[in-house]
Every structure is written in structure tokens, then in C-alpha cells.
């Protein structure tokens, strides 16, 4: 995103006689910073300083409710976090959750996009149906799936019983619970990423596909050698925003499982939430927060070039 | 004679099969919502064994909605959510318009660096920083207040980026004419640029309202007083409450109440919603 080459309107103002007076000129120079100030104030309070704050807090031990003062413990909190089986479990779960959600979500998003890209009435209804889950609050989705996953009486078991299948305890079995949560997330997000693929498909020049058709490429070959490569920027872009999303939303965990059974659905952000909000372990929560900030930055910066390409393509 | 007709039959069969498959998947996708609709109008007497049925019962009832409103004080939750959503959007409109204008039209030392500093918010999304932000909110004396829920969102990198793009796409002639006539910067933004930038503002408003209507974790941490609960917190408490009992119809009604306003607006302005969300991917 190039910022060069914009000649500001204020340059024009400076050339007018009114702006030539020194006091006026000074104000004009300060103007850009004054316009940015309100945003910068809140960015400083809630984006920049918090990172500094957790970085410092993560080096101290602040016992809760004992009345003891804070003591410097260096990297002690990080050692404690890494030694905590719950944290390791949460990190591993988050990895499984991210990969396990990402692959089916991307495949479905692309399949939906290919299926509904034509502008017929039927397609537009399907588009709405697929997109709709991403519009509802994650909490509402969790409430619905609470009933869907209900053992015995729930929607899933009720209809599985009709075809003679007995489902597992979807949220109560520690081997199954994380996959149930993954199912919910795929259902919730696939339609959202579908939108990007629809936009991406529309940007593929028609002649490229027609050329492939003339060369006798069948549907699979067209997808594999023409459409997928052309959608690579879209895919990279979707992967980044999906990963950030998968690391920073745990509303459904809070409503459905509270990280259980026995930490089977604990995710990083839920671990942080628990340490801070339920166990009052400030130092540990700070250390875990900084670790997740590092992961987020690594994902984003690692893909910065791709993201820039993505926004260029759209602009 | 036979082969061509067979080929034609096949040519017609495949699209029909695909359409049928697609319709089946779409039905599966819509099932949770269909159940919510059916169950929320189902009379309590239907018994919990048939609660999962997707077939509507004949005597429909609004009883579940009345129960939801009474036991869950949904009226209050609506009011609180509206305050948060409107409050955040109002402040954001000011901050992103000013910052977007500065980045689009003014040149000043440090502009690129500041722009990247803004973009940092797209990566360090507020949910990741709930722990330190809660302490900041406490320090500011905003704990357990609705402004405390709103404050972290008053600056928006996504909104700034979107307004910058919108302003950049506008012709400069009008503002230059206004500047020659001696109009001050705020008059240029308010009377010249913003009226032309309405599509950008609308796109931003759609994304912002959806995000904060649906938000849960942050208000859950900031708000303690039940009288200040938002819809999502109310619904979560409601879901936990329904766990034991036979109140599935009431839960379905409550979920429907939370989803309905956005759903109605979406159906009315579908095209705009979709465009806004495609652009909002930049938000992450």
C-alpha cells in the first residue's frame, strides 16, 4: 500500500494569502497530528500500552489476596506457564483446533463459492443460507449447538436415532468434545470465507478459463491448474484472518464446555481468561498473553507481503 | 440415434444431481435455524422427548417469548446492547473520519510510520489483550460501566483504513474549490467529503454494529452488575440456566431474540452487507 504521491489539499491552503500568516501556518503543520490524536490516544491506551504492561507484569509475581507485595521473578512466570500441563494442553488443543477447523472450512468455502457464484435466484438463496451463520453471535451459535449436542434428546441424537445410529456424548467425551467444537466453528465460518472466494473467482479473467476449455481441460483440470493458482492470494489472505480468528475467539468454549471435560477443549485465550478471571494469577495470565501476542504478530508479519498483495488486488 | 439422447440425458442429469446435493447441504446448514424457529413457537406441553423434531406443532404459541422476556429481562439487554453499539459507532465515526482524512489528504513527517502503527491493531486484536485492558479499564474507573465496554473500540484501524481508501477515491476538485473559498478543514470534511464518503461510512457501520452486537467475552469481563448485561451475556446466562430444565422452547426463543434484529437488517440490505463484509476481511 503505497502512501507516496498524495499532494494534500492543505498544501493548497498554505498558498492562499490567509494561510501565509505565521500563526496560521503553524496550525496547519500541527493539524495532521491533531486529527490523528483521538485515534492515537485510544490506540495507546488499549493496543500499545497493554503490550508493554503485560511485558512488565509477566516479570513479577503478584500473589492474590495474601497481602504480600509484588516480587521480581524474571522469567519465572514463563517457566510456570510452560510447566503447567493445562497450558500445554491448551496450546496443543489450539493447534489441533486451528488446523482441524482451517482445512474443512477452506474446502467448504471454496466449494460453496464455486457452487453459488452464478447469479441465479437459486444461487442467491444458497449464498444467504451459507453466509447466515457468520452473522449470528458466536454465543447464539453455541446456544443452538448446546441443544444440538445434547445427549439423547438433542437434534443430532434425535435424528441419528431415527437411522439407527447411536452418537457419542458430543461434548462430554474428552476424545470427541474438541471435534464437536470444530464442527460448530466450521459451520459458523465457512460461509464468511465463501464471500472472499466468490470475490476472488469473479476476479479471474474469463479468457483464462475459456482458454483452458478450448485446450480441452476437464472440470478437475480447470480447478487444479487454473482456478486454484489464481485464487492463491485469496487463500493466503483467508488463512491469515482465519488463524487470527481461531486464536482469539472462545465465546463458544465459555458457553459450551468451559474448557472441559478435563481440559479437552481448553484453548489459549480461554486459558488466559481462566488464569486472570477465575484463578487471579496475574503474572501467569500476563506471560500467556504476551506469548499469544507473539504468535499473532508472527502470523501477521509472516504474511504481511501476502496481505499487501491482497489489498492491492482489491484496490 | 441412441447415443446422442443418452449424452443429452447425462448432460441434464449431472446439473440436476448437483443441484439436489447442494440443496441437501443447504438444508443441513439451515437446520439449526429451522429448529430455533420451530421450537420457539412450540407449546411447552409438547414434552421434551419431541423437542428436537423439526416439524412444527399445530397449536403455535408466543408463550416462550413471553417467558424469555420475563425471566431473562431481554428488554434491558436490548437497551444495553443498543447503547454499546450506538456509542461505539458514534465515537468511531469521528475518530476514523478525522484519521482517514489525515492519511488520505495531508502529508506530514512520520505519516507512513504512523499508518503502520495504526495497522498494528489489525493484528493485536482487542480480544487478545483482554487481561491488560481490563486493568486499564479498572484504573480509569470504568469497571462495570458500559463506557468501559466501549472504550477499547473507540479507535479503529479498519475504519481508518476504509475511510482513507474512500477519501482517496474521491475527486479533489470540490475540496479545492471550498479551500479557495476559505473553508476551514472541518468544514471541508463535514460539508464536502463526508457526504460523498457515505458508502464507506455505511460499510464501516455495518461491520462495526455486527461486531459489537455479537461481542461477548469483553463485556462479560467488564460488566458485573446484572442490570448492565448485554444480549450476549444474558443469552449465555440463559443457556446455562436452561441446562437442567425443560425450557428448551424458551432458550430457542431467547436465541431468536438475540439474532433477529441483525437478521432482519441483513435480509433488507443483503447486497450492502455482503460488500461490507468482503471489505472487512482487511479487519481480521
Q: What is the pLDDT of residues B9-63, one digit of tens each?
A: 777 888 888 889 999 999 999 999 998 888 888 876 555 566 777 777 767 777 7
Q: Is the pLDDT of residue A5 over 50?
A: no
* Choice between A7 and A195, residue whose per-residue pLDDT is larger: A195
pLDDT tens for chain B, 284 residues: list them.
455 677 777 778 888 888 899 999 999 999 999 988 888 888 765 555 667 777 777 677 777 788 777 776 888 899 999 999 999 999 999 999 999 999 999 989 999 999 999 988 888 888 889 999 998 999 999 999 999 999 999 999 999 999 999 999 888 888 888 888 888 888 989 999 999 998 889 889 988 999 999 999 999 999 988 889 999 998 888 887 765 555 778 888 888 888 988 888 888 887 777 777 776 654 43
Q: Which three cell numbers stand for residue A284?
A: 501467569
Q: What are the residues whose beta carbons fall under 8 Å from the beta carbon of B124, sequence distance 6 or more?
A: A47, A51, A293, A296, A297
Rounded to an integer, the average pLDDT of A141-145 is 90
Which chain B residues touch A35 with a CB distance below 8 Å?
A: 98-99, 101-102, 106
Taking the Cβ of residue A157 and every Cβ of chain B, the question of whether any pair is shorter than 8 Å is answered with yes
Amino acid A243: pLDDT: 92
Tally of CA atoms within 13 A in the half-sphere of A202 that contains its CB: 13
Taking the Cβ of residue B274 and every Cβ of chain A, the question of whether any pair is shorter than 8 Å is answered with yes
Taking the Cβ of residue A60 and every Cβ of chain B, the question of whether any pair is shorter than 8 Å is answered with no
Domain with CATH 1.10.3720.10 in chain B: 67-283
Q: Is the pLDDT of residue A3 over 70?
A: no
Task: List, as ranges, residues 137-166 from B with C-beta within 8 Å of A.
Answer: 151-152, 154-157, 160, 165
Task: List, as ranges, residues 192-211 from A with C-beta within 8 Å of B.
Answer: 192, 195-196, 199
Closest residue by Cα to residue B43 from B266, B215, B230, B250: B250
Over its C-alpha atoms, chain B yields an Rg (Å, rounded) of: 25
Instruction: Check A9 against B175: CB less than 8 A apart.
Output: yes
Distance from the Cα of B165 to chain A's closest Cα (Å) equals 8
What is chain A's mean pLDDT, rounded?
83
Contact A202/A230 with Cβ under 8 angstroms? no
Instruction: Check B120 against A137: CB less than 8 A apart.
Output: no
* Choice between A235 and B15, residue whose per-residue pLDDT is larger: A235
What ipTM was predicted for this assembly? 0.85
Amino acid A96: pLDDT: 95
Report the residue from A159, A241, A277 with minimal CB separation from B281: A241
Q: Is the pLDDT of residue A77 over 80?
A: yes
CATH topology of domain B67-283: MetI-like fold (1.10.3720)
Report the residue from B35, B136, B248 with minimal CB separation from A50: B136
Over its C-alpha atoms, chain A yields an Rg (Å, rounded) of: 26
Amino acid B239: pLDDT: 80
Contact A72/A157 with Cβ under 8 angstroms? no
Rounded to an integer, the average pLDDT of A125-143 is 90
Amino acid A111: pLDDT: 92
Task: List, as ranges, residues 5-64 from B with C-beta within 8 Å of A.
Answer: 18-19, 22-23, 26, 29-33, 35-36, 48-49, 51-54
| B-interface mutation test, from A29, A32, A124, most B Cβ less than 10 A away | A32
Q: Which of A166-175, A236-245, B55-64 has the highest mean pLDDT?
A: A236-245
Report the residue from B236, B263, B279 with minimal CB separation from A254: B236
Amino acid B62: pLDDT: 79
Q: How far apart are CA B3 and CA A153, in angstroms?
A: 52
CATH of domain A79-314: 1.10.3720.10
Distance from the Cα of B201 to chain A's closest Cα (Å) equals 17
Report the residue from A195, A241, A249 with minimal CB separation from B274: A195
Amino acid B146: pLDDT: 93
Instruction: Check B108 against A13: CB less than 8 A apart.
Output: no
Which backbone phi and psi does A101 adopt, to 5 degrees? -85, -40
Which DSSP string do the residues of A201-261 spell out, in sequence order? HHHS-HHHHHHHHHTT--HHHHIIIIIHHHTHHHHHHHHHHHHHHHHH--HHHHHHTTT-S
Q: Which three cell numbers stand for residue A1?
A: 500500500
Report the residue from A12, A115, A140 with minimal CB separation from B258: A140
Amino acid A138: pLDDT: 93
Amino acid at each position: 500500500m503505497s502512501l507516496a504521491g498524495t499532494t494534500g489539499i492543505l498544501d493548497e491552503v498554505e498558498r492562499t494569502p490567509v494561510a501565509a500568516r505565521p500563526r496560521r501556518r503553524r496550525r496547519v503543520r500541527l493539524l495532521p497530528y491533531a486529527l490523528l490524536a483521538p485515534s492515537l490516544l485510544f490506540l495507546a491506551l488499549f493496543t500499545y500500552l497493554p503490550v508493554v504492561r503485560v511485558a512488565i507484569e509477566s516479570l513479577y509475581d503478584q500473589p492474590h489476596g495474601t497481602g504480600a507485595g509484588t516480587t521480581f521473578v524474571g522469567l519465572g512466570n514463563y517457566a510456570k506457564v510452560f510447566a503447567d500441563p493445562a497450558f500445554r494442553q491448551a496450546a496443543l488443543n489450539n493447534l489441533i483446533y486451528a488446523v482441524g477447523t482451517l482445512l474443512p472450512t477452506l474446502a467448504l468455502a471454496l466449494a460453496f463459492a464455486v457452487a453459488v457464484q452464478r447469479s441465479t435466484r437459486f444461487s442467491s438463496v444458497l449464498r444467504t443460507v451459507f453466509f447466515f451463520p457468520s452473522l449470528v453471535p458466536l454465543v447464539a451459535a453455541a446456544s443452538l449447538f448446546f441443544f444440538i449436542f445434547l445427549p439423547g434428546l438433542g437434534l443430532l441424537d434425535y435424528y441419528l436415532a431415527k437411522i439407527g445410529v447411536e452418537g457419542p456424548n458430543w461434548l462430554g467425551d474428552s476424545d470427541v468434545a474438541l471435534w464437536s467444537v470444530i464442527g460448530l466453528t466450521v459451520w459458523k465460518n465457512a460461509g464468511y470465507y465463501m464471500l472472499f472466494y466468490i470475490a476472488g473467482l469473479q476476479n479471474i479473467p474469463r479468457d483464462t478459463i475459456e482458454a483452458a476449455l478450448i485446450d480441452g481441460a476437464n472440470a478437475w483440470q480447470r480447478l487444479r491448474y487454473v482456478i486454484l493458482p489464481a485464487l492463491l492470494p485469496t487463500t493466503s489472505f483467508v488463512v491469515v484472518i482465519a488463524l487470527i480468528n481461531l486464536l482469539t475467539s472462545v465465546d463458544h468454549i465459555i458457553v459450551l464446555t468451559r474448557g472441559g471435560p478435563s481440559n479437552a477443549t481448553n484453548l489459549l485465550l480461554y486459558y488466559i481468561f481462566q488464569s486472570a478471571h477465575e484463578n487471579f494469577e496475574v503474572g501467569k495470565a500476563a506471560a500467556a498473553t504476551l506469548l499469544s501476542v507473539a504468535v499473532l504478530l508472527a502470523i501477521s508479519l509472516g504474511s504481511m507481503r501476502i496481505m499487501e498483495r491482497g489489498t492491492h488486488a482489491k484496490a | 440415434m441412441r447415443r446422442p439422447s443418452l449424452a443429452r440425458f447425462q448432460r441434464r442429469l449431472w446439473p440436476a444431481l448437483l443441484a439436489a446435493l447442494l440443496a441437501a447441504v443447504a438444508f443441513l446448514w439451515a437446520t439449526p435455524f429451522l429448529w430455533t424457529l420451530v421450537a420457539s413457537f412450540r407449546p411447552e406441553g409438547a414434552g421434551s422427548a419431541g423437542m428436537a423434531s423439526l416439524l412444527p406443532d399445530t397449536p403455535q404459541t408466543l408463550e416462550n417469548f413471553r417467558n424469555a422476556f420475563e425471566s431473562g429481562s431481554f428488554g434491558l439487554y436490548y437497551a444495553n446492547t443498543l447503547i454499546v453499539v450506538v456509542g461505539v459507532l458514534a465515537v468511531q465515526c469521528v475518530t476514523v473520519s478525522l484519521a482517514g482524512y489525515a492519511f488520505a489528504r495531508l502529508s506530514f513527517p512520520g505519516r507512513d510510520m504512523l499508518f503502520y502503527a495504526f495497522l498494528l491493531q489489525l493484528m493485536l486484536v482487542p480480544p487478545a489483550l483482554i487481561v491488560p485492558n481490563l486493568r486499564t479499564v479498572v484504573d480509569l474507573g470504568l469497571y462495570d460501566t458500559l463506557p468501559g465496554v466501549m472504550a477499547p473500540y473507540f479507535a479503529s484501524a479498519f475504519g481508518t483504513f476504509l475511510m482513507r481508501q474512500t477519501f482517496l477515491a474521491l475527486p479533489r476538485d470540490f475540496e479545492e474549490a471550498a479551500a479557495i473559498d476559505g473553508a476551514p478543514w472541518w468544514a471541508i470534511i463535514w460539508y464536502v467529503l463526508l457526504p460523498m464518503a457515505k458508502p464507506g461510512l455505511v460499510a464501516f457501520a455495518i461491520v462495526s454494529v455486527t461486531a459489537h452486537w455479537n461481542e461477548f467475552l469483553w463485556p462479560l469481563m467488564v460488566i458485573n452488575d446484572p442490570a448492565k448485561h448485554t444480549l450476549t451475556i444474558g443469552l449465555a446466562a440463559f443457556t446455562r440456566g436452561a441446562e437442567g430444565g425443560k425450557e428448551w422452547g424458551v432458550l430457542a426463543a431467547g436465541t431468536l431474540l438475540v439474532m433477529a434484529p441483525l437478521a432482519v437488517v441483513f435480509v433488507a440490505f443483503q447486497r450492502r452487507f455482503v460488500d461490507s463484509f468482503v471489505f472487512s476481511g482487511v479487519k481480521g
